[in-house]
Amino acid sequence: MAIAIPVLPYPAMPLLADPPPWNDANRPQGRPERVGQSVLGHPISLFNPAPANLLLMGGVHGDESEGVFLAHLLLATGCALPLIPCLNPDGALLRQRWNARNVDLNRNLPSRDWKPEPLNPRYPPGSAPGSEPENQAFFAALARVRPSMVLSFHSYKESFVEIERPPETLPAAINRAVATFTAAVGIERRPSVGYPTPGALGSFAMENDLLVFTWELRRGISHGELYAILPQVLAFVTELNRHRFVPPPKRP
C-alpha cells in the first residue's frame, strides 16, 4: 500500500514537546494528552493516547533532535500510534543530553542495576531511581498505553537498532519485521550498545516485560534523509503494532 506523504512547510527544528501548528489540521486523533511536565515546567505530551502494542518515543536525550524531528514527521503523516515526540523538552531547549537537573534520563530508570554513582560523568543517574519528572511522565504514558513494546529514537555516530532480548525469545513475525526494516534502510540489528548502561530503558524493560527497540539514528542525519525513509518507518511501526510481545517465563 502506498503511503501518501504530504509536502511539509519545513519549520526550524522543532524543539518542544508539542509539534508546530501545521500538524493540527491533519491530525484526526485530537489534542495530545499531557502525561507530565519537565523540571522547568514544559508539558510532556502523548499523542494518540490509547491502548496499543507499541509506544513510540523521541527526545530522551535533549541533544539528539534527529529523533524528535522524526517523531514530528510521523505525526504529520498521520501515524496513529501513541507517540511522545520529546520526553526531555528542557534538554532540547538547552541543547544538552541531560534534563534541567543534569540527569541522564536513560540512566535514571528504576531497574535493579541502578546505582547512585555514575559509571561515567557523562551519565549522571539522578538522586534516586525514577526520580526525574520526565521519567514519571514516561511511566504515566506506559500506564495509559499499556504497550508490550517501546521504540525509542536516539542518535549516535552510527545507525543501528539495538534489541537486548535475544532473537530466539521474540516472535518470528517481530524478527521478520526488524529484518525487513533494517535491510530497507541499510542498518544493522545489534544485541547491545556495547557498554554497561545501568538504569537505562533496556534494563528496565527486561524487568518489566517490555520489548524495547532503541533506534540510533545517524547523528546529524538530515531532515531530507529522514523524510526519504518515512514510508519504511511507517511500515515498520505499523507491522510491529500488529503483534503483542509476550516475554518468556522467568527463571525462578
176's grid cell: 521478520
> 14 or 49, CB closer to Zn ion?
14
Measured from the CB atom, the residue of 61 and 243 that comes closer to Zn ion is 61
Cβ-proximal residue to Zn ion, closest one: 154
Spatial distance between the Cα atoms of 53 and 30, rounded to a whole number of angstroms: 20
Query: Least Å distance between CB 103 and Zn ion?
Result: 14
CB 61 → Zn ion: shortest distance, Å?
Answer: 4
Minimal distance in Å, beta carbon 97 to Zn ion? 7
Question: How many other C-beta atoms can be found within 10 angstroms of the C-beta atom of residue 95?
Answer: 10
CB-nearer residue toward Zn ion: 154 or 165: 154
Q: How far is the CB of 36 from Zn ion (least distance, A)?
A: 19
Q: Which residue's CB is nearer to Zn ion, number 18 or number 66?
A: 66
First to last CA, the chain: 46
Distance CA 20, CA 150 (A): 24
Sign of CA dihedral 45, 48, 52, 53: negative
The answer to whether the CB of 242 falls within 8 A of the CB of 53 is yes
182: CB partners within 8 A, 6+ apart: 160, 161, 188, 189
Residues that bind Zn ion (CB under 5 A): 61, 64, 154
Question: Residue 51 Cβ, how far from Zn ion at the closest point, in Å?
Answer: 27
Minimum CB–partner distance for residue 217 and Zn ion (Å): 10
Residue 154 beta carbon to Zn ion: minimum distance, rounded to whole angstroms: 3
**HSE (CB half, 13 Å, CA atoms) of 185?**
29
User: Which CB atom, from 23 or from 197, has the smaller least distance to Zn ion?
Assistant: 197
Question: Strand 33-37 to strand 43-46: parallel, antiparallel, or no bridges (unpaired)?
Answer: antiparallel
Task: Tell me whether residue 112 is exposed, middle or buried, using C-beta atoms within 10 angstroms of its C-beta: 0 to 12, 13 to 18, 19 or more.
Answer: exposed
Q: Which is nearer to Zn ion, 119 or 235 (CB)?
A: 119
Residue 216 CB neighbour total at 10 angstroms: 22
Taking the least distance from each CB to Zn ion, the nearer of 120 and 169 is 120
